[in-house]
């Protein structure tokens, strides 16, 4: 049954109070759901630091945001390419210099449906490298600042975690065998969810309550995700879908991540938040269905160890 915590319309930004003094760091905020999340937060006077890979697109996004919310709106960007670990290290250093508090780190950026197998500079399959390993390292490097701020970590996942293998292919993390655009994407999003749920466990084991970790997804939202990295066929299918009620706007797609970063009434962390309407792909935002393979303890704790080795960073909690 659909979650009714926030009434029949679900969670909407109408619930969001003034955010003056609060700072949010959002990856991939020059487009799509990340951009819309930045808009909603800026409208309520938050400070927003976007972590984007394109200087040109970031400058254009900032110009648009300043036009909408005024020259004094507090929006800036730090360049990061999440597919390059050195870039993540440099960006984290920059963020620590310029952002004294982080009330929310929204792990929003992603590539999806990459048609042919590619490896990142660090030698990882591109979707796993960008979506999971890049964020895993970034969160580790920013964690203490988030903790000092009693902040939140938000992972933007995907219902794709229910597709593909539904577990981690530890014997072939880079898909030397059997690569499929959707299978590899699904696994990268499952890995991101497992990072979040394992982090919840590790925080609980350390007796820490200073950081909350939430997982959400935008449902099916009309963003540039498929246009950026999908094949021509996928782009066409997606374009057709966006003409139907099966796909909602990018702005609606941003509500779950803004809710997870800000909503005080949200207390249940071992959950998946997102649209609760048709197939949980559109509709009022609340708590959705979370299937147990996303928090399979043996798999997620092993993935944590594998990830620490891969990015050469050990978390201390
Ligand atoms: N849209 C959907 O229906 C849907 C469904 C399920 C899950 N999601 C999830 O929702 C989140 C937001 O995606 P979206 O749909 O809003 O897609 P989007 O419009 O393509 O936005 C993705 C953002 O990530 C950035 N990005 C990609 N690769 C990057 C890298 N290597 N380093 C830094 N930033 C990078 C993009 O930058 P550029 O502009 O430079 O490409 C863009 O700003 C993603 O986590 C996605 O998996 C979306």
**pLDDT value, residue 1:** 63
Minimum-distance ligand 1 atom for the alpha carbon of 156: 45
**pLDDT value, residue 186:** 97
Compute, in angstroms, the gap from residue 111 CA to the centroid of ligand 1. 6
Q: Is the pLDDT of residue 228 over 80?
A: no
- Model pLDDT for residues 116-144, shown as the tens digit of each residue: 999 999 999 999 999 999 999 999 999 99
Domain boundaries, the chain: 13-307
**pLDDT value, residue 235:** 80
Superfamily of domain 13-307: NAD(P)-binding Rossmann-like Domain (3.40.50.720)
Q: Is the pLDDT of residue 240 over 90?
A: no
**pLDDT value, residue 222:** 87
Which segments of the chain does DSSP mark as H helices, in order?
32-43, 55-69, 85-98, 126-127, 135-148, 181-205, 225-229, 232-241, 250-262, 297-311
Higher pLDDT, 234 or 269: 269
User: Given pLDDT bands bounded at 50, 70 and 90, which one contains residue 92?
Assistant: very high
In contact, 33 and 156? CB cutoff 8 Å:
yes
How many Å apart are CA 224 and CA 29, to the nearest integer?
A: 12
**pLDDT value, residue 81:** 98
Pocket test for ligand 1, best of 32, 49, 124, 136 (most atoms within 8 A of CB): 32
**pLDDT > 70 fraction of the chain, expressed in percent and rounded:** 100
**pLDDT value, residue 229:** 75
- Model pLDDT for residues 200-215, shown as the tens digit of each residue: 999 999 999 999 999 9
Q: Is the pLDDT of residue 223 over 90?
A: no
Q: What is the mean pLDDT of residues 214-218?
A: 98
Whole-number mean pLDDT of the chain? Answer: 95
**pLDDT value, residue 233:** 83
**pLDDT value, residue 79:** 98
Compute, in angstroms, the gap from residue 33 CA to the centroid of ligand 1. 8
How many Å apart are CA 195 and CA 190, to the nearest integer?
A: 9
- Model pLDDT for residues 57-76, shown as the tens digit of each residue: 999 999 999 999 999 999 99
Q: What is the mean pLDDT of residues 228-255?
A: 84
Pocket of ligand 1 (CB under 6 A): 27-28, 30-34, 52-54, 57, 80-83, 108-112, 130, 156, 158, 217-218, 220-221, 223-225, 228, 253
What's the angle, vertex CA 58, arms to CA 248 and CA 81, rounded to 5? 95
């Amino acid at each position: 049954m659909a979650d009714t915590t926030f009434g029949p319309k679900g969670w909407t930004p109408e619930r969001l109070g003034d955010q003056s003094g609060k700072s949010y760091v959002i990856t991939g905020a020059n487009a799509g759901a990340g951009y819309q999340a930045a808009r909603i937060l800026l409208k309520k006077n938050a400070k927003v630091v976007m972590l984007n890979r394109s200087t040109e697109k970031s400058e254009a996004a900032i110009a648009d945001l300043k036009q909408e919310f005024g020259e004094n709106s507090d929006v800036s960007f730090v360049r990061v390419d999440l597919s390059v670990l050195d870039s993540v290290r440099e960006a984290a250093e920059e963020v620590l210099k310029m952002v004294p508090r982080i009330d929310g780190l929204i792990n929003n950026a992603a590539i999806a449906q990459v048609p042919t197998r590619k490896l990142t500079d660090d030698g990882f399959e591109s979707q796993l490298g960008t979506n999971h390993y890049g964020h895993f390292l970034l969160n580790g490097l920013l964690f203490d600042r988030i903790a000092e701020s009693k902040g939140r970590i938000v992972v933007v996942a995907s219902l794709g975690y229910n597709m593909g293998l539904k577990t981690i292919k530890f014997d072939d993390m880079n898909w030397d065998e059997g690569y499929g655009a959707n299978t590899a994407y699904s696994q990268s999003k499952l890995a991101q969810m497992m990072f979040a749920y394992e982090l919840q466990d590790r925080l609980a084991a350390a007796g820490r309550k200073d950081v909350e970790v939430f997982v959400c997804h935008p449902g099916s939202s009309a963003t540039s995700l498929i246009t950026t990295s999908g094949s021509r066929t996928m782009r066409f299918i997606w374009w057709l879908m966006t003409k139907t009620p099966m796909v909602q706007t990018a702005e609606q797609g941003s509500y779950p991540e803004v809710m997870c970063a800000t909503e005080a009434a949200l207390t249940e962390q071992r959950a998946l938040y997102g649209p609760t309407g048709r197939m949980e792909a559109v509709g009022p935002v609340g708590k959705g269905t979370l299937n147990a393979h996303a928090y399979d303890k043996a798999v997620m704790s092993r993935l944590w160890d594998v990830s620490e080795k891969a990015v050469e960073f050990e978390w201390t909690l």
